[in-house]
Amino acid sequence: MKITYNGFDENLLFEGLILPYFQDHEVDYGGVTLLNNNKLPIQYLKDKELFLGKKGEVHSISFSDGDRNLDVMLIGLGKKEELTGNVLRKAVGKGYRELKKKKPTSIGVYLNHVVEGLKCSYAIGRNTAEAIVMTDYKFDSYKTDNKKELLEEVTLLFDGIDEEFKNGFEEGISIGNSTILARVLVNEPANVLTPTDLAERVKNLGVEKGFEVEVYELEKIQELKMESYLSVAKGSAEPPKFIIMRYTGNPGGETLGLVGKGLTYDSGGLSIKPTKSMNTMKNDMGGASAVIGAMSAIAENKLKVNVTAVVAACENMISGRSYKPGDIIGSMGGKTIFIGNTDAEGRLTLIDAMYYIVNHEKVAKVVDIATLTGAAIHCLGHTATVGIGNDDEFFDMIDKSFNKAGENIWRMPIFEEYKELVKHSEADLTNVAGSPGTITAGIFVGEFAGDIPWIHLDIAGTAWAEKDKDYISKGGTGVGVRSLYYLAKEMAE
Ligand code: BES
Ligand code: MG
Ligand code: ZN
């Protein structure tokens, strides 16, 4: 599918049209050609309360002239004064998803009236492009009967096309595609996407998008004394890969650090998970995919900022060489850890990655992102990412970035009492610190961030979607890609 833009032209013919409406403002689509000079029965739909233009509403109408068919999808934008980029992105995503079910070969998205609510052509271009790119993705690459794509072209119809609109459009396409890249990585099954395969894919991406990639093999990981990470990795027949990505857009300036949890599979280890929980554990590298997607978007858009990302990729498996509950292990930072549960493995891989990035890559600020605790789902469900951190100003920045991306985040507190919970009588720390599990897991990771501003993001609830919704497709969501991109962009400004 190709996506382009054009000024409105009544001679352009499509098989599908998306027409946005406000709830509190008449919208005139008189100039839009419907087959056989048909008119839209807007008053009829309003009288019957079939479509009022409210946020989240969609309504389809089909027109025919005997030979051709036109499917029109009305999408509600809510109140004119309250229109935001996030509302537009969701509305376009939902309408586009519904319209595609009608199998059109071409779609026009009519945007002229949107500007009456959202007065920024950059925001219109970006959010519409983002919505279409993201909604278009479906994980079906393993279906042998997967049907050929019928939709050839989507055209954004807008008379206010200026440089701002074009910039927004290009950026929207880029960050939308970077999100899909992350979704693909999550959706690839663990028998295909091993740590080795992930490292290879990242190397290729680095060449394609313009960032440097270095991969540390087992020997180098051992040399660096990443004992905590290696304890998790050693039960698997697949070798671990420590992946480093570096992008320099502001030589001499400070560097943002990103750490992504990269468990390409989490069986739970000897503290084994029930089968049902294991079924989706290929998604345990959702944090890694977020930082990889963000790096791609950052490099592609040539942001004037330096970003270094690391992923300690491995599998958490069972074998005669697995680490065991009751073990006491070391870590690159020197602290010892009592293993209370081998399923609390993510934090063990993250602390060596965190210690490494802070001390060897000299980052000024650091964000770690991880599908870390089931407890995060109990905290905020599948709706929002749990955040914690040690710096209010830095947290404000990430809060704004999430907002811009339309991703929800909620900050949890770090009380002194919680810090006591990660300590252990026989070792410096324990990997199962108890309730509140999401906060104590985050605190455990933060122990290795030194004194720099640090944010921990638990995406266990948001990295995976059970069903399609708006521009989110079933499976890996690519959460964090766009938010981390905006964070880097904010640091560049
Ligand atoms: N990868 C899981 C967390 C998870 C759960 C991610 C559900 C996505 C969906 C993590 O490694 C894990 O198993 N955490 C344990 C920690 C516990 C043993 C302290 C958990 O949350 O149950
Ligand atoms: Mg686990
Ligand atoms: Zn895990």
Number of Cβ atoms within 10 Å of the Cβ of 80: 17
Residue of 225, 246, 273, 474 marked active site? 273
Closest Cα to atom 14 of ligand 1: 373
Q: Token pair of 78, please?
A: 């809510």
- Same domain, residue pair 188 and 128: no
- Same domain, residue pair 56 and 118: yes
CA–centroid distance, residue 268 to ligand 3 (Å): 7
Closest CA to 316 of 308, 324, 306: 324
- Judge whether 30 lies within some domain: yes
Closest Cα to atom 5 of ligand 1: 374
pTM above 0.85, yes or no: yes
Query: Who lines ligand 1 at CB under 6 A?
Result: 266, 284, 341, 343-346, 371-375, 432, 437, 460
Cβ neighbors of 236 (< 8 A, separation 6 or more) are 314, 315, 316, 317, 319
- Judge whether 359 lies within some domain: yes
- Domain encompassing residue 374: 176-491
Residue of 97, 347, 482, 489 marked active site? 347
Please confirm, yes or no, whether 273 is among the known catalytic residues: yes
Atom of ligand 1 nearest to the CA of 283: 8
Atom of ligand 1 nearest to the CA of 437: 19
- Same domain, residue pair 352 and 479: yes
Q: What pLDDT was estimated at residue 351?
A: 99
- Judge whether 171 lies within some domain: no
- Same domain, residue pair 81 and 214: no
Give how far Cα 123 sits from Cα of 83, 129, 142, 435, Å: 11, 10, 35, 42
Please confirm, yes or no, whether 482 is among the known catalytic residues: no
- Same domain, residue pair 180 and 153: no
- Same domain, residue pair 141 and 191: no
Helix (H) or strand (E) holding 328: strand 328-329
Q: What pLDDT was estimated at residue 27?
A: 86
CA–centroid distance, residue 178 to ligand 1 (Å): 26
CA angle 3, 51, 66 (to 5 degrees): 65
Closest Cα to atom 17 of ligand 1: 344
- Judge whether 169 lies within some domain: no
- Same domain, residue pair 346 and 432: yes
Ligand nearest to the CA of 268: 2
Per-residue pLDDT reduced to its tens digit, 287-313: 999 999 999 999 999 999 999 999 999
- Same domain, residue pair 366 and 221: yes
CA–centroid distance, residue 59 to ligand 1 (Å): 40
**Phi and psi dihedrals of 197, rounded to 5?**
-65, -40
Q: What pLDDT was estimated at residue 423?
A: 97
- Same domain, residue pair 279 and 416: yes
Q: 216 with 195: CB under 8 angstroms?
A: no
- Same domain, residue pair 181 and 313: yes
- Judge whether 237 lies within some domain: yes
What is the total count of domains within the chain?
2
- Same domain, residue pair 141 and 222: no
Q: What pLDDT was estimated at residue 149?
A: 86
First to last CA, the chain: 34
Q: What CATH number does residue 31 fall under?
A: 3.40.220.10
Q: What pLDDT was estimated at residue 26?
A: 86
Atom of ligand 1 nearest to the CA of 266: 1
Residues of the chain with pLDDT under 50: none
- Same domain, residue pair 149 and 196: no
Atom of ligand 1 nearest to the CA of 441: 19
Closest CA to 260 of 289, 218, 223, 221: 289
